[in-house]
A and B are shown apart, each in its own frame.
Chain A
């Protein structure tokens, strides 16, 4: 097992910077999600770590050793591809055995290790099948078994669950997490699905246009996004833009919004405040005045019922705000109703403009 350090890595294709000075420390035994929209450089970063492609500048180490001159097959990594990349000319067992067999392991050892890996992914009985006789979820498991049977130092997964339907995906998320914990392998997981990143990983790195936008534990990024992009890409956020007052912003119409978290900015600069929809309380009257709370008046334009919760869309000063409330069965608001929105400064994150 080993950690992976990526330091100041850049990679361009022609004039296009696919990776722009990216540095990330992937901790030994950790589960790290690389999150970003399509084309943000996630696959490119993974390929640099795997050794399929090489950075123009920067350094990558695995287990503390530079891998600059180490070819793919010597890096001792396990990789799961988005399309699974199972060998169609081999049985499931032979696919899993491949890594051990090219290494020249003894037949008996290969047989036991393959069976153990297949049992781990709950496919113990399907070793004799061909890949094309398996369902998508089963192929995914074979690909995983094949990648971990060689006991690699690092497991790299490129949107491994992207091709599965929703229900199967949630099952596989749990399964993957269980297996990762069981063998304690350093895992780098590429996804464009924020929910997947939030629920599975110890740390998340958000990429955009080849740059690392923000990096940290899921809760930290969710609660303290450092940019509008991070705030809206990981979870939902209401954004207010205005001039900083030091501990909040003043909207163009003069309304003050107090922020208890986020950047420390000099008064006067352009800035934004982000508030998560579930942090806002919605009511028909202002209630008892509360000196510290942020308060805005608006009008409900739409309500979307989603079982255990509802999303209200509230129009306010030309902006549509989102508010999510748990459905307790008492406080249902009608569309068109005048409402008051309140939330605490602690739920408000100040973000520098740009």
Chain B
């Protein structure tokens, strides 16, 4: 109950015209929820955020699953521990430090630009800063450890003899991957996807810092309501709409994914 208490307060606020803390008179209203539907901007931003969540999740699968596979099935002993630490390290580092370090890498005259120009014989201009790709890169970097960890745990639980059994029955490595390993690691993929998709859809730090003007998403609008506009009731209502949408998506997706496995 205690866990839900602050959140319940937010539910309460989302139905108010004003914050009771401000001293102004307040009343109950559905207006905050209606606001979402009255302006197409909110829906547009929500769709953009969902797309962002989907893209980041996909990139995390593309990068995280093979990494988890290598960690669980290829590397042994010391080298496994070392690589594991490298994967976890960004996870432990402060979010702002992580994001600003990307800003240094991605901006014009930054680390990536300088390094590429030092290696390549022709001059290119790399300025990814304040762009959609920069937001994707920052978010994938922040969230890929979740995918690596959840997939690593399920992959590690798959007995090597299952892989060998598959091969002895005439299956190529690829067929074993498709028919045995991926189905058996589905729980890890689903858990990782859920852990990544949900917070990414509501993310605001990476879009704001790395995205600049292109970085306006549903999450940044919610953040604005809380820290800039001080319209907490609207911010709360927008968050709960997001929560509802995300829950519906998860409810629809999980049986489909389970059947696929």
Contact = CB atoms under 8 A, between A and B. Distances in A.
A76 B138 CA distance: 48
Contacts of A89: 180, 183-184, 261
Interface in A55-86: 71-74, 76-79, 81, 83, 85-86
Interface in A70-122: 71-74, 76-79, 81, 83, 85-89, 98-99, 102-103
B243 interface: no
B94 interface: no
B165 A87 contact: yes
Contacts of B175: 102
B74 to A, nearest CB: 15
A87 to B, nearest CB: 6
A139 interface: no
A147 B179 CA distance: 17
A99 B169 contact: yes
A50 B169 contact: no
B172 interface: yes
Contact of B161 (A71, A77, A78, A85): A85
Interface in A305-321: none
A98 B169 contact: yes
Contact of B164 (A78, A81, A102, A146): A81
Nearest to A87: B180
B168 interface: yes
B167 interface: yes
B121 interface: no
A73 B164 contact: no
B127 to A, nearest CB: 47
Given A83-B159, A88-B184, A73 B170 contact: yes
A187 interface: no
Nearest to B172: A73
Contacts of A78: 168-169
A347 interface: no
A52 B183 CA distance: 23
B166 interface: yes
A102 B179 CA distance: 9
B140 to A, nearest CB: 29
A272 interface: no
A98 B171 contact: yes
A238 interface: no
A52 B163 CA distance: 10
B165 A73 contact: no
B249 interface: no
Contacts, number: 65
Contacts of B162: 85, 87
A83 B170 contact: no
Nearest to B183: A89
Contacts of A227: none
B75 to A, nearest CB: 18
Nearest to A102: B171
Contacts of A150: 169-170
B160 to A, nearest CB: 9
B170 A79 contact: no
Contact of B165 (A74, A85, A103): A85
A183 B183 CA distance: 33
A79 B171 contact: no
Interface in A179-233: none
Which of B161, B168, B175, B179 has the most C-beta atoms of chain A within 10 angstroms of its own C-beta?
B168
Contacts of A52: 164, 167
A158 to B, nearest CB: 9
A100 to B, nearest CB: 9
B183 A72 contact: no
Interface in B148-197: 159, 161-162, 164-172, 175, 179-180, 183-184
A83 B169 contact: no
Contacts of A76: 170
Contacts of A72: 164, 167-168
Contact of B169 (A71, A88, A146): A146
B165 A81 contact: yes
Nearest to B178: A102
A76 B184 CA distance: 25
A78 B168 CA distance: 6
B170 A102 contact: yes
Contacts of B184: 87-89
Which of A86, A102, A103, A146 has the most C-beta atoms of chain B within 10 angstroms of its own C-beta?
A102
B170 A85 contact: no
Contacts of B169: 73, 78, 98-99, 102, 146-147, 150
Interface string A228-269: 000000000000000000000000000000000000000000
A86 B180 CA distance: 10
Which of B170, B172, B179, B184 has the most C-beta atoms of chain A within 10 angstroms of its own C-beta?
B170
Contacts of B164: 50, 52, 72, 79, 81, 85
A99 B180 contact: no
27 contacts: A50-B168, A52-B164, A73-B169, A74-B170, A76-B170, A78-B169, A81-B164, A85-B161, A85-B162, A85-B164, A87-B165, A87-B184, A89-B180, A89-B184, A89-B261, A98-B166, A99-B170, A102-B169, A102-B170, A102-B172, A102-B175, A102-B179, A146-B165, A146-B169, A147-B169, A150-B169, A156-B168
Given A73-B170, A102-B166, A103-B170, 6 more contacts: A71-B167, A73-B169, A78-B168, A85-B159, A86-B165, A150-B169
Minimum-distance CB pairs A-B, first 3: A99-B169, A85-B165, A85-B161
